[in-house]
Amino acid sequence: MACRKPAFRKDDGKKWFIMGEKSKKRFSPAVTVIILFGIISLLGDVVYESARSVNSQYLNLLGISAAKVGLVFGIGEFLGYFLRLVAGVLSDKSGKYWTFMFVGYGMLLVVPLMGFTMNWNILVVLILMERIGKAMRNPAKDTVLSKVSENQVGIGFAFGLQEALDQIGAFAGPLIFTAVFYFTGKNGIAQYQTGYRWLFIAVVFLMLFLSYAYRRVKRDELIPSVAGQEFQAEKLKPVFWIYTAFTFFCTLGFVNFSTVGYHLKAKNLMSDASITLLYSVAMIVDAATALLVGKAYDRMKTKTGLKTGGLLVLAAIPLITLLLPFLSLSRSVPLIAAGMVVFGVIMGTHETIMRSAIADITPFHKRGTSYGVFNTAYGLALFGGAAVMGWLYDRNQIGVILAFTCATEAVAVLLYFRMNRLVKASRP
């Protein structure tokens, strides 16, 4: 019996057209580039987050005090954020965002080089150079990403997706050291150096993906050219400065992993392998949080009908940050593990909403500058917090660390209410 062709209904054409349009949107040039940026961030985190998970323990093994470790990492974080102001202004003035990204990511090469020296002075230089490289690339990267995603997939979602992929790298990176500790048969300093050297492979792949992303953005013309005369066209709004101050005090009381890692090592609460594994778990929590809060940020903008409405999602951050030292600086392993979950939630929010918000409260041609100013304040807070907490930890003043965090987060809460009033006052 001959087969009959199925009858073609009038709605079929419409249905397939709609499905085709959805597929086209799903795989649009903007979405492709956002995913590429996520992969680049993933590989970057494999390199520098794996190193950050062991740097404090490595320096402890070399006989460096907690105060010196806290000072070096504090200076590194400060430089890494302060120099973003310079890099952001220069990238806005020149429009050469990609140059800053290529140079900044290229400087990740210093991390594998840490595996070839035990000299304290050289290690300090390499640690600081890695942070300087991050300072050079981040304002340019965030500016390009915000423009590519703007009015297409939602800025919160774009930064959330990038952060999620970013943290997959942050999870996988420390596992390199975990594997080295378990399987290489080496001991002490030698196993740390082996782990550092393996990171060279990730640096090579990162630069290849960055080159491909550059070609895609240029080919599809996804960002506009910025004329030099536009640079001073608009001033930064009051809500930007209140938001920056809020972020500063939230971060000032934040217990950095350099302090937590040193605490775990100094008190012999966990093995080296367990410490890196714990950090990896925190990064997974970070990734999951990024996706959730990114969507929440976009939904809040829709709900309020305000471009700055997403800022209201930040209400819980000071309260959550307040919990961190009580958990992570205890001597109870279960409490410390819970503290690292909180650590991941805080970092996921910082890296998603706090970056997304800048795009919504500043014009494109001032975003490099805005990200630079914002990140300078953020870095100053990280520097101050790490240095103060390292100094207090050396003197066994855990109670003072707790009081310091309480004070800073109380100021952040007051600033949040001020920011909340400014956002609601902007309603038409």
Structural tokens at position 62 = 């070399």
Contact 104, 137 (CB under 8 A): yes
pLDDT of residue 193: 83
Q: Does residue 368 register a pLDDT over 50?
A: yes
pLDDT of residue 108: 93
Structural tokens at position 280 = 């990896």
How many whole angstroms separate alpha carbon 158 and alpha carbon 148?
A: 9
pLDDT of residue 12: 44
Mean pLDDT of the chain: 79
Phi, psi values for residue 304, rounded to 5°: -85, -20
pLDDT digits (tens, 9 = 90+) for 249-285: 999 999 888 788 888 888 888 887 788 788 778 878 8
Q: What letter does residue 229 receive in the DSSP assignment? A: G
Task: Look at 179 and 3; give whichever has higher pLDDT.
Answer: 179
Q: Estimate the crossing angle of helix 333-361 against helix 238-252, to 10 degrees.
A: 170
pLDDT digits (tens, 9 = 90+) for 201-232: 999 999 999 999 888 877 756 565 544 444 45
pLDDT digits (tens, 9 = 90+) for 321-334: 999 999 988 889 89
pLDDT of residue 210: 93
pLDDT digits (tens, 9 = 90+) for 45-94: 889 878 887 887 787 787 777 777 777 877 887 777 778 888 888 887 88
pLDDT digits (tens, 9 = 90+) for 374-395: 878 887 888 788 888 888 888 8
How many whole angstroms separate alpha carbon 68 and alpha carbon 123?
A: 13
Question: Cα torsion at 276, 351, 255, 197 (round to 10°)?
Answer: 30
Was domain 30-221+236-425 assigned CATH 3.30.930.10?
no
Contact 382, 259 (CB under 8 A): no
pLDDT of residue 283: 77
Closest CA to 49 of 125, 104, 130: 130
Closest CA to 207 of 127, 353, 105, 349: 105
In this structure, which amino acid lies at residue 185? Answer: G
pLDDT of residue 1: 45
Q: Does residue 427 register a pLDDT over 60?
A: no
pLDDT of residue 234: 59
pTM here? 0.67
Q: What letter does residue 237 receive in the DSSP assignment? A: P
pLDDT digits (tens, 9 = 90+) for 97-113: 889 999 999 999 999 99
Decide: helix, strand or coil at residue 235: coil
Angle at 167 between CA 164 and CA 168, to 5 degrees: 90
Least confident of 45-59, 173-187, 280-294: 173-187
Share of the chain above pLDDT 70, in %: 84
Question: What mean pLDDT do residues 126-153 have?
Answer: 82
Contact 162, 38 (CB under 8 A): yes
How many whole angstroms separate alpha carbon 301 and alpha carbon 110?
A: 41
Burial class (CB in 10 A: 0-12, 13-18, 19+), 187: exposed
Q: Where are the domains of the chain?
A: 30-221+236-425
Share of the chain above pLDDT 90, in %: 16
How many angstroms separate the Cα of 115 from the Cα of each of 119, 201, 256, 374, 384? Answer: 11, 14, 24, 33, 29
pLDDT confidence bin for 174, thresholds 50/70/90 = confident
